[in-house]
Structures are given as structure tokens and as C-alpha cells.
């Protein structure tokens, strides 16, 4: 018998039993206060600093990644309406979805085609800046296009960067770090797709493959980096820098909502649904949005029925002291970006007062949604991304208690629902066909 940190309510015990049976569930967070956590190692100032740092690097980014020129070297995605997906959601929920339905297109982010282009690239840039400042190569007020020069690349070639990943983080870190001239090693879990490893090797990145899952790949990477003072390990489970890079998206989203004349306030609730793996990506976005919109934003994380690590960690209060295998699940899912069996404690703790809830989704739905999104909106997103689409369905089907508790019933017709698309653009055509023909 596992010893939980929190006593589960009757409702939560039912949820746990359903999780063991791999049924889809919706868990509502009883600890939500809508306040940002205090006395924590993280503060909103980090997010502001990250945005400024990304601004400093924008001249360099547009010089080395020409596709970022149209946004002046800022890596950002569109926010678009996807009304043609409403009938699919409503059919699955057996209820109408009131309000607006939008997609945040991080599957199209420049450079690496996933949400990891936020956190991953940011952490590499921050490390590069730190090295360059230490060596006296640059001041914050200089033109950062200098980072392109051979002298900088020479300098960075003495340093190493390492990361453990299920695929997309490795891709972002690998592409950015190799571009700057670092020696890069990516420790890939068994879930990582072959094309991601091939692409990295083409760019001169050292890829080490593991027969085990994500947690072990991270552990091995961390161990190897520990013994090397010239090696910076990007720690997906604990990194404040990754988290800050993800959180910047909230500042950008606020501007985009304003440009679309979409209000967020007491009368106009905002619902955001994010696919969750170890937690850093969705957690960073959630933190930023909560700082900006307080109780008017309602944030839900989606995880595969086989890998609900964040739900399990938060519901039991055990965070990284419990893994999905402890309740008999396999952590095997086609949603490779979400194949994580043990959540980040750093993120889980931060989410306690912020998150509205977590839900699970089965792989079959992900593929059905993948086809429908292609048919109706002409948009391709990888399977992990589609965990977001199940959010409003679960809320409509099982979230009545939430809607009533926060007195949202009469405001739903003025609500905005954002599905956070997290990856897709880098997926090769043959792999897309495989997904679409399943």
C-alpha cells in the first residue's frame, strides 16, 4: 500500500481506481487559490528577465534562422480561431461548447516546431550569454549578432551542453546549441522517434539512445554531466531557466488576445488546455497566465491514460515520490512527448495553488483528433498535441462541479477556450502519413 501525503477524498479514490483501469478521468485541484506561490525559488521577475534576454538575442536569432525574420527574431506562434473543430468536440462531449475556440499554434514555432522552442532555446541562449560575459566577449548593451562570429563559436566549442529527452527537448537544445558552436549530447529515451535522432546527428549532435524511459535517460545525462565542469546539463525536471522561457509565452498571449479584441475578466473566463509531460512546458505557461489573469483563467493539463504523472503526483501530494508504474500503468503511449512516468516536483509544487485540474485521454482519441484536425482545419499536429483537444470535452462531460463552484454557468457563452498545440511542424511527411492512416 502506498503512503500518500494527502488523504484522498472519496471522489479522488474513485479517480485513482479509474486511473488504474486506464479509464479517462478529470481531477479537480482542491488546493487552488489563484495566488502565485510565495516563498518559492521562482518569481515573476524571472519571466520579465527572460523576455528581455530573448529581446537581446533577437538580432542574432534572425541572422542565423532566417525564418524568424518576419517577427524580427522573436520566436512566437499565432493564436487562431478553429471553429470547424467545435462539432467534433461537441459530438464527443454530447453537449454544446459555448464561447470561442482558439488554437495556440506552438506546433509551428520557428526553429524546432514545438513548445520546446520556448524553454529549450531560452536556456541555451542564457548559458551562451553567461559564458560570453565571463570571457569578456560581450556586454548586455552590445549587438548580439556578434554571437554568429567564428570567435564566439571557437569559445563555445570548449563547453558542452547535455540533456535527457523523449525527443522534442533534445531537438530544440540540439539545434540551438549546435548552431552556437557548443558540443552537444542528447540522451534519448526509448520513446524518441528515429527521425528526431537522425536529424540531430546530421547537425553534429551526439545522440545516446536508451532502452528505458525518460526518467532514466535524464538520470544518466545528469550523472555524466556532473563529473564535467565544462558541461551544462539542461535539467528538464528542475530547471528554472526552462520554466522561465516557457512562461514568457503568457506575456505574448496577452498581447495576442488584445489584438483579437478578446476580453478576459470576471464576465469573460479564459480556459486553457495544455498537454503535460514532466510539467515544465505547461507549468511555465500556466504560471505566466495565472500571474496575468488571476482567477479569471482556468488551466487544465492533459495526460495520456498510461502516463498521468502530474495528476498522480499532485493528487497524492507525493509529486516525484510516485510514478505511474506504482499504480500498475505502463507509461507506454504513442504521445511520445508525454511519455513521462514521474512528474517534476519543482513544477508540481508551483502548480498547487494555480492549476484547475488534470484530465487523462487515451491514445485512440489522439489519433481520431489528429485526423479531424487535418480534415476540418487543414492543420497537422503530432499526437501529443492533441491531448489539448480532449480538455473541453472532459470539462463538459465531467466538470459540472467546477463550473458550479466558480459560478461560471451564466458566463460560458462569453468564454474563450484555448487549445495549446505543442508540436508538429518538424514531423516528416512519411511519419505524418503513418499517423493519418492509423
Ligand X SMILES: *Cc1c(COP(=O)(O)O)cnc(C)c1O
| Helix ranges restricted to H, 320-362 | 345-351
Select 213 or 382, whichever has its Cβ closest to ligand X. Answer: 382
Distance in Å, CB of 166 to ligand X, minimum: 7
- d(CA 174, CA 305) in angstroms, rounded, equals 30
Count of C-beta atoms within a 10 Å radius of residue 87: 13
The Cα–Cα gap between 421 and 34 comes to: 24
For residues 58 and 306, which CB has a smaller minimum distance to ligand X in the complex? 306
Report whether 19 contacts 360 (CB < 8 A): yes
Of 181 and 280, nearer to ligand X (C-beta) is 280
370-409 mask for ligand X (x: CB under 6 A)? Answer: ------------x-xx------------------------
As a dihedral over the C-alpha atoms of residue 162, residue 168, residue 173, residue 174, rounded to 10 degrees, the angle is 80
Residues 247-276 that bind ligand X (CB under 6 A): 275-276
CB of 153 to ligand X, least distance (A): 28
Binders of ligand X in range 95-114 (CB under 6 A): 114
CA–CA dist 411, 46 (Å, integer): 34
Q: How far is the CB of 404 from ligand X (least distance, A)?
A: 29
Of residues 99, 281, 348, 357, which one binds ligand X by CB under 6 A?
281
Measure the CA–CA gap between 113 and 425, rounded to whole angstroms.
5
Q: What angle do CA 185, 191, 196 make, to 5 degrees?
A: 50
Which of 349, 423, 426, 427: binder of ligand X (CB under 6 A)? 423
Among 282, 302, 357, 392, binds ligand X (CB under 6 A): 282
Region for residue 259 given its phi and psi (left: phi exceeds 0; alpha: psi -120 to 50; beta: otherwise) = alpha
Residue position matching grid coordinates 478578446: 262
Binding-site member from 245, 280, 302, 348 for ligand X (CB under 6 A): 280
Q: What is the 3-state secondary structure (H, E, C) of 252-308?
A: HHHHHHHHCCCCCECCECEEEEEECCCCHHHHHHHHHHHHHHHHHEEEEEEEECCCC
Cβ-proximal residue to ligand X, closest one? 277
State the minimum distance, in angstroms, from the CB of residue 114 to ligand X: 5
CA distance 221 to 173: 14
Q: How far is the CB of 100 from ligand X (least distance, A)?
A: 23
End-to-end CA, the chain: 39
Residue 213 interacts with ligand X (CB under 6 A): yes or no: no
Exactly one of 29, 189, 215, 422 binds ligand X (CB under 6 A); which one?
A: 422
Q: In this complex, which beta carbon is closest to ligand X, that of residue 168 or of residue 331?
A: 168
CB of 116 to ligand X, least distance (A): 6
List the one residue from 32, 104, 116, 118 that touches ligand X (CB under 6 A): 116
Positions in 326-365 near ligand X (CB under 6 A): 337-338
> What phi and psi, each to the nearest 5 degrees, are found at residue 344?
-75, 130
To the nearest whole angstrom, how small is the minimum distance from the Cβ of residue 27 to ligand X?
16
Phi, psi of 234 (to 5 degrees): -85, 105
CB of 278 to ligand X, least distance (A): 4
Name the residues that contact ligand X, by CB under 6 A. 114-116, 168, 275-282, 337-338, 382, 384-385, 422-423
Amino acid at each position: 500500500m502506498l503512503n500518500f501525503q494527502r488523504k484522498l477524498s472519496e471522489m479522488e479514490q474513485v479517480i485513482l481506481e479509474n486511473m488504474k483501469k486506464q479509464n479517462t478521468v478529470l481531477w479537480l485541484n482542491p488546493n487552488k487559490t489563484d495566488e502565485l506561490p510565495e516563498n518559492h525559488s521562482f518569481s515573476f521577475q524571472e519571466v520579465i528577465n527572460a523576455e528581455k534576454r530573448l529581446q537581446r538575442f533577437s538580432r542574432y536569432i534572425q541572422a542565423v534562422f532566417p525564418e524568424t525574420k518576419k517577427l524580427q527574431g522573436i520566436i512566437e506562434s499565432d493564436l487562431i480561431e478553429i471553429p470547424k473543430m467545435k462539432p467534433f468536440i461537441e459530438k464527443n462531449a454530447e453537449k454544446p461548447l459555448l464561447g470561442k475556440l482558439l488554437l495556440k499554434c506552438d506546433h509551428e514555432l520557428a526553429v524546432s516546431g514545438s513548445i520546446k522552442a520556448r524553454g529549450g532555446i531560452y536556456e541555451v541562449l542564457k548559458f551562451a550569454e553567461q559564458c560570453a560575459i565571463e570571457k569578456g566577449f560581450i556586454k548586455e548593451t552590445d549587438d548580439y549578432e556578434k554571437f554568429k562570429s567564428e570567435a564566439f563559436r571557437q569559445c563555445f566549442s570548449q563547453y558542452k551542453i547535455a540533456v535527457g529527452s523523449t525527443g522534442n527537448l533534445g531537438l530544440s537544445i540540439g539545434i540551438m546549441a549546435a548552431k552556437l558552436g557548443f558540443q552537444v549530447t542528447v540522451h534519448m529515451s526509448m520513446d524518441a522517434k528515429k527521425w528526431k535522432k537522425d536529424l540531430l546527428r546530421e547537425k553534429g549532435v551526439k545522440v545516446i539512445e536508451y532502452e528505458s524511459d525518460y526518467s532514466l535517460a535524464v538520470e544518466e545525462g545528469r550523472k555524466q554531466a556532473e563529473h564535467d565542469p565544462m558541461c551544462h546539463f539542461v535539467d528538464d525536471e528542475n530547471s528554472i531557466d526552462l520554466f522561465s522561457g516557457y512562461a514568457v509565452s503568457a506575456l505574448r498571449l496577452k498581447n495576442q488576445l488584445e489584438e483579437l479584441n478578446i476580453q478576459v475578466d470576471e464576465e469573460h473566463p479564459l480556459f486553457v488546455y495544455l498537454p503535460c509531460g514532466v510539467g515544465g512546458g505547461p507549468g511555465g505557461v500556466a504560471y505566466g497566465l495565472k500571474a496575468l489573469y488571476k482567477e479569471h483563467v482556468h488551466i487544465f493539463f492533459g495526460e495520456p491514460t498510461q502516463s498521468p504523472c502530474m495528476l498522480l503526483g499532485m493528487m497524492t501530494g507525493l509529486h516525484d515520490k510516485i510514478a505511474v508504474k506504482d499504480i500498475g500503468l505502463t507509461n507506454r503511449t504513442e504521445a511520445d512527448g508525454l511519455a513521462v512516468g514521474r512528474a517534476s516536483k519543482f513544477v508540481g509544487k508551483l502548480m498547487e495553488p494555480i492549476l484547475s485540474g488534470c484530465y487523462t485521454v487515451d491514445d485512440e482519441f489522439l489519433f481520431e483528433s489528429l485526423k479531424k484536425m487535418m480534415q476540418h482545419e487543414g492543420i497537422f499536429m503530432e499526437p501529443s498535441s492533441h491531448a489539448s483537444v480532449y480538455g473541453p470535452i472532459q470539462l463538459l462531460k465531467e466538470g459540472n462541479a467546477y463550473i458550479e463552484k466558480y459560478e461560471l454557468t451564466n458566463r460560458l457563452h462569453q468564454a474563450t477556450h484555448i487549445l495549446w498545440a505543442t508540436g508538429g511542424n518538424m514531423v516528416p511527411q512519411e511519419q505524418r502519413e503513418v499517423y493519418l492512416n492509423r
